[in-house]
Structure 1
């Protein structure tokens, strides 16, 4: 399926970094980039169109933005999509197109954001990184731990390789998340890491408030299910034990 980036801005500055967040485990990349884009007022530079997939419009404070595309803020560019098209051919084409666009706008390093599943996570989520070069690894050294092993899938995995094939440094920042629901707490950790690595100062208080709201809703749901199970067990008639 053909993937096309259509230019929206008349002038686009050279960007040292492109930061990617495509829908995946916990939606952490999408949530993190959406937050940075809206908090900092990044401007849409390209809209992404995929053959046979309708293009949606996202409205924020009365203004319409593309649901998938590239936003620019000073020397940073951000690629993200609100909806995922995970057909294998589409994923590969997206990765190739984003890597090629990165090269064209002067990007030196691609930063992918992704979740790493941790079903029983109770403490603060840990951060890991995997890089294609020593230079890219330096970005998150002291901020995250090197990933010992595993597989990076989705758009992030192929994009790391496609960027490297085009002479770009590339690194993936991964954060632990239960992965069962959109996780603004994990996304907040990602934004804090970007603040430190890239010298940003993005406020994460809104993400933390959203995380508290979701945690409360999840806990209420769990308690309700437990109560329902208890009531069903109490109402169940005892069955006779059979012996042969």
Structure 2
């Protein structure tokens, strides 16, 4: 199992907190983490590529290709420094995911990391107007620490297994006595849906707990734009269905 790690910086960090947000349901975690990275002008520490990542490339804004990679960023904080794990993909299979999470935990321990916050989505059959936010963890103390208004830890029966890096990273962290919490926001479970509304709710929780003072108003315009696109798509699909239905009736009669 091979992970190629390219280092850009070797910062000295003070008991950092790792915030993970990789692609998943509605890309809620990724949207939230990428927003924080951009808002705080976080700096890249390293990037990871691997044969255990998807066998594809991405076309970038310069019309050139990039290998799939996962990146680690940092930002100095008042009390604890912050690390952010972001990327365009997740490891391909179960074994790769286990080994990737262990690799991240090795890196985190070298920085003398304090705790882990993993982000993700809960898929619903419809778009939630006001997404609820839930949490679970590998120990009760970190739930008490992060418990704020609007964050519900009564998650049993609400979700099934938490699949991928978000779940496994926190699960494996418990073997190393590293506290970890998973924060999940409701979102539409369609594979093409972009869960900005859920991401905004997660950012509200991070604002309260990590003292990062993010202004999330810019996300409101994005939410409005996406919902208009969905409304147009829905109307178009409805018209197309009616046309096809009419055609079916005509050909049946003929």
Shorter-chain TM-score category?
A: 0.7 to 0.9
How many angstroms apart in 1 are the aligned matches of 2:70 and 2:60? 9
TM-score, structure 2 length as denominator? Answer: 0.84
- TM-fit CA distance, 1:22: 1.4
Question: Which consecutive segments of 4 or more residues in structure 1 shift more than 3 A?
Answer: 52-60
- TM-fit CA distance, 1:142: 2.6
User: Of the candidates 67, 70, 85, which is equivalent to residue 68 of structure 1?
Assistant: 70
TM-score, structure 1 length as denominator? Answer: 0.88
Question: Are 2:117 and 2:180, in contact at CA under 8 Å, matched by a contact in 1?
Answer: yes
User: Of the candidates 194, 204, 210, which is equivalent to residue 192 of structure 1?
Assistant: 204
Question: Are 1:21 and 1:113, in contact at CA under 8 Å, matched by a contact in 2?
Answer: yes
Show CA shifts across 1:83-119 (max 9, x none).
2333222211111111221111121110000101111
How many angstroms apart in 2 are the aligned matches of 1:125 and 1:162? 28
Q: Unaligned regions of 5+ residues in structure 2, if any?
A: none
Report the counterpart of residue 120 of structure 1 in structure 2.
126
- TM-fit CA distance, 1:201: 0.8
Question: Are 2:148 and 2:205, in contact at CA under 8 Å, matched by a contact in 1?
Answer: no
Report the counterpart of residue 176 of structure 1 in structure 2.
186
- TM-fit CA distance, 1:52: 5.8
Matched residue SS, 2:233: helix
Q: Unaligned regions of 5+ residues in structure 1, if any?
A: none
Question: Are 2:52 and 2:92, in contact at CA under 8 Å, matched by a contact in 1?
Answer: no
Report the counterpart of residue 88 of structure 1 in structure 2.
94
- Count matched residues: 236
Report the counterpart of residue 38 of structure 2 in structure 1.
38
Shift of the 172–222 alpha-carbon distance from structure 1 to 2, 3 Å rule, reads: same
User: Of the candidates 149, 164, 168, which is equivalent to residue 154 of structure 1?
Assistant: 164
Question: Are 1:8 and 1:45, in contact at CA under 8 Å, matched by a contact in 2?
Answer: yes
Matched residue SS, 2:74: strand
Show CA shifts across 1:167-209 (max 9, x none).
1100000000112212111111111110011112111122222
How many angstroms apart in 2 are the aligned matches of 1:184 and 1:155? 20
